[in-house]
């Protein structure tokens, strides 16, 4: 499926989830007009809904933490395939990234995956025991650049190995993150009002990515955020819990 069609399908899925979970959302037919219209439109109610993801570090150039998460996990999956092509072991391999100044390039991805696979192979080919490889011990320029550490833990029995990528991000207060999202979308409201009487913003927080998780805070319901959107909601996946924030 083309990227644009895939994006539209994901937006529709989330709009329908919101419609189902929010009693105040219209039950009429939903359309997905082309830009510069909002992502979802209820023509009968003249209501437009713009969707945005709740991303750490969100900005005009996208979210670096989300990009890093995606690339780091891709490297972990590739390293696992390289390792398992040579050796079969039941392992829990955790790859920790401790330096976040940049995201690995495509060329670096391949090199890092190969080096990770090699270190895991070296530490499991003869005997199985819990071990750790730090970037200082690895003596590898890319391990040093990204502060990569590997934790290897044998799992008793027979089964699939689990290779995962972990990162430790510093999160600003939720109120700051929410206002940043509103500020990022503010410039679009005026255009949306040319075709809609009401414009809502739907912020989607997905638990699939650490950088997109929302931490509940009862104080947020008492705050008023600066925005021209008529109403602002947050959809917390996968339970599809709805939170509304006051705007003015």
Which of residues 211 and 115 earns the better pLDDT score? 115
Do 165 and 27 meet the contact criterion of CB atoms below 8 Å apart?
Answer: no
166: left (phi over 0), alpha (psi -120 to 50) or beta: beta
pLDDT at 159: 76
Question: How long a stretch of residues is the chain?
Answer: 248
CB atoms under 10 Å from CB of 94, counted, come to 17
Do 93 and 152 meet the contact criterion of CB atoms below 8 Å apart?
Answer: yes
What's this model's pTM, rounded to 2 decimal places? 0.72
Residues 6+ apart with CB under 8 A from 102: none
Alpha-helical runs (H) found in 93-173: 106-124, 135-138, 141-146
Per-residue HEC secondary structure of 44-100 comes to CCCEEEEEEECCCCCCCCCCHHHHHHHHHHHHHHHHHHHHHCCCCCCEEEEEEECCC
How far is Cα 148 from Cα 140, in angstroms, rounded to an integer? Answer: 10
How far is Cα 248 from Cα 228, in angstroms, rounded to an integer? Answer: 7
Which of residues 211 and 155 earns the better pLDDT score? 155
- Please count the CA atoms within 13 angstroms of the CA of 184 that sit on its side-chain side: 22
Residues 157-171: what's their mean pLDDT?
Answer: 79
- What is the residue-averaged pLDDT of the chain? 90
> Is pLDDT at 1 greater than 60 in this prediction?
no
Residues 2-6: what's their mean pLDDT?
Answer: 75
> Is pLDDT at 3 greater than 70 in this prediction?
no
Residues 6+ apart with CB under 8 A from 2: none
pLDDT at 56: 64
> Is pLDDT at 181 greater than 60 in this prediction?
yes
> Is pLDDT at 207 greater than 80 in this prediction?
no
Do 121 and 86 meet the contact criterion of CB atoms below 8 Å apart?
Answer: yes
């Amino acid at each position: 499926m083309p990227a644009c069609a895939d994006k539209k399908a994901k937006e529709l899925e989330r709009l329908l989830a919101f419609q189902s979970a929010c009693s105040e959302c219209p039950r009429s037919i939903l359309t997905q007009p082309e830009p510069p219209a909002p992502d979802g439109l209820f023509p009968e109610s003249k209501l437009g809904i713009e969707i945005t993801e709740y991303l750490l570090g969100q900005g005009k150039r996208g979210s670096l933490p989300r990009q890093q998460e995606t690339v780091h996990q891709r490297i972990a999956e590739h390293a696992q395939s390289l390792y398992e092509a040579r050796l079969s072991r039941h392992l829990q391999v955790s790859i920790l990234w401790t330096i976040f100044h940049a995201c690995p390039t495509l060329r670096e991805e391949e090199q890092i995956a190969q080096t990770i696979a090699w270190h895991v192979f070296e530490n499991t080919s003869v005997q199985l025991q819990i071990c750790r490889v730090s970037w200082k011990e690895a003596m590898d320029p890319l391990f040093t650049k990204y502060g990569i550490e590997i934790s290897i833990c044998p799992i008793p029995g027979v089964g699939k190995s689990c290779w995962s990528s972990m990162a430790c991000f510093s999160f600003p207060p939720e109120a700051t993150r929410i206002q940043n999202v509103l500020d990022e979308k503010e410039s679009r409201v005026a255009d949306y009002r040319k075709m809609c009487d009401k414009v809502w913003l739907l912020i989607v927080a997905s638990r699939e990515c650490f950088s997109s998780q929302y931490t509940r805070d009862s104080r947020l319901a008492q705050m008023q955020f600066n925005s021209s959107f008529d109403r602002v909601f947050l959809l917390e996946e996968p339970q599809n819990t709805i939170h509304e924030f006051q705007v003015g």
